[in-house]
Chain A
Amino acid sequence: MSETESRIYESVFSIDRLLRKIVLFAYGYYLLFLFKDNSIEFYIHERYQALTLVSSLILIFAALTYSSYVEKRGHEHRKKAPAVRRLICTMLPALLLAPVICGFITPPKALGFSEKRMSTRFSFSGGAAAADPEALKQRGSGDITLAFPPGAVEDYEERTYTPLNVMELNYLFSAGGGAYIGDRVAVQGFVYRDDTTQYDVFTLVRYMIPCCVVHAYPVTVKVKSPETESLETDQWVVVYGAVAEAENAAAETAGDDTGCIVSAERIELKDQPQNPYINRWNTSKPFRF
């Protein structure tokens, strides 16, 4: 081939590059869709959401900018692989669409009770920090909205509850739960009926997502209530109660070593909340996690 001939380029449509464009666009659009659909929280921690949003825009931009045409020299048209191999190579990018298609056609479900995951439940055991007696007087990031604001006296029994999430409560118990005996809390989670605890105690569970759902681990507190037997595992509830010392630690808090429980005053059955996980930054003192 002469020098002049090798310099002659022509634009050739490439199905492979078109498929790449489609895959890039599909991934970008799917990530955007997760935000629009509010289902991004089913998958990742809040700290990755900004990066995910930016990535989705970059992917869409790249898809629009990436050319479906490739410039080839004239002689390159003659180098053709066998048809079957070409077909497989061409269709491979299409296989990469599998998670996107899967994600679109099946709405995400929240993780529920799993014996395997329960074996890795998290605790700040050992005392995460010195107990702060004012902690329960501050509003935590408890993700339930009470019918009355904390501090107000509007409850039908003239009681006020501080909304905390399971992680915050676990933190307080581990940091010295004795400082909070008698303080009232409202906490939300799903029920886990554990055979190792006594009949009137159940475990209240929320999953913490430190990065993505694959690494979700349960955070738990024990709740004592005469209504326990009517509650099914996986039922979402809001427990209104007071922090109490476990009377019989071995029987009441098996698996936890904080020595504290929530003694329930009432339990409301709830539907699964929109965000079933603990996956947001919590920067309010003393709940830094």
Chain B
Amino acid sequence: MDQFSEFRLIFIGIVVETTPFLVLSALLSFIVESFVPETFFPRLFGPKKARGIILAALAGFLFPLCECCIVPIARRLIQNGVPLTVAVVFMMAAPSLNPIVIASTSAAFVTAPEVIYWRFAAAFVLVLSTGFLFAFFDRRGGLSSQPLPAAGGGHSHHHDQHSGHGHSLHEKMLRGLDEAVTDFFRVLGYILAAAVLTAAVQVYLPAGVIDVFAGSDLLGAPAMMAFAAITSTCSDADAFIAAAMRQFGDIPKLGFLLLGPVIDIKLVLLHYALLPRRAATLLLVSFPVMVVAALIVISFFIT
């Protein structure tokens, strides 16, 4: 198969894989907009940030949502009054800790259970730590005071048209559909850009580049983290990819598994498009550092 055909296959493959999750995300957006009272989520997570952070991290274990659809949902939560910090924690927790990820990791690492335990223990601690870091930086509203990036074209008019409460169910559903379609298109462009980039890297990056780093944990961990960022692997299946990377040890594989659900090319594009810029930057800068710190700690326990 020539390289361009492979590029095309992978590009379309990413789109086919991702579209259902975008639809799922848009559907949730529609349901939230149409049927869930605006006070529901703020009440659920409570006024105290610490409680909200812990609840949002635990909620990650329950919702089988992957990282493709979670960013617009986090934005929707913020729009509905959930504190930015809590929404970001849920955005990280759901793709890192959800039941599908637990099942797939357990299947892929059946011969290396320590990777399974460390993945979820470390992910939970990382999610909580990031939440409290955000809470610290946001203690005077430094993050949440920044407005969410503007929505795509053709959207604001509709808000005018349907703003306010007390509309009929039909009107609410129409407004929900408009919001859902806007969400879908807001994300789709970034997904396509990331798909082109990912396919290009997969096909045209020379063979053996990654093998250079496979020899040691010191080089292997950053290499696998970079690999996670470049390939934008879905967290539901990333364990199989990590398990297949037999040249690498457990620590680099954990680096891949911990970083991938939160930071990769497509997610960074989405964070900057949908979340306040300062929050996106803080996540981009702090999370990889915290993953490296976690790997250093884990390396004392895994030989």
Contact = CB atoms under 8 A, between A and B. Distances in A.
Contacts of B24: 51, 55
* Interface of B: prevailing SS: helix
A231 interface: no
Contacts of A92: 189
A55 B26 CA distance: 10
B9 interface: yes
Contact of A214 (B14, B153, B246): B14
B16 A217 contact: no
A82 interface: no
Given A48-B17, A62-B177, A214 B198 contact: yes
A93 interface: yes
Interface in B199-236: 199, 202, 205, 207-208, 210-211, 231, 233-234, 236
B180 A215 contact: no
B240 A129 contact: no
Interface stretch (A14-22, A152-160, A177-185, A221-229): A14-22
Nearest to A52: B20
Contact of B17 (A17, A214, A288): A214
Contacts of A9: 161
Interface residues of A, number: 68
B241 A210 contact: yes
Contacts of B205: 116
A289 B246 contact: no
A108 interface: yes
Contacts of A16: 153-154
In this complex, the interface size class of chain B, counting residues with CB under 8 Å from chain A, is 35 or more
Interface string A31-52: 1001000001011110010011
B268 interface: no
Given A111-B9, A119-B211, A27 B19 contact: yes
Nearest to A96: B188
A102 B12 contact: yes
B158 A51 contact: no
Nearest to A89: B153
25 contacts: A17-B154, A42-B13, A58-B27, A59-B23, A66-B181, A71-B161, A89-B153, A99-B192, A102-B11, A103-B15, A103-B16, A110-B1, A112-B1, A114-B6, A116-B207, A120-B246, A121-B244, A124-B111, A125-B246, A129-B110, A208-B240, A211-B240, A212-B237, A213-B10, A217-B240
Interface of A: 9, 14, 16-17, 20, 23-24, 27, 31, 34, 40, 42-45, 48, 51-52, 54-55, 58-59, 62, 65-66, 70-73, 76, 89, 92-93, 96, 98-99, 102-103, 106, 108-112, 114-116, 119-129, 208, 210-215, 217, 288-289
Q: Which 5 A-B pairs have the closest CB atoms?
A: A211-B237, A212-B17, A213-B13, A210-B240, A55-B20
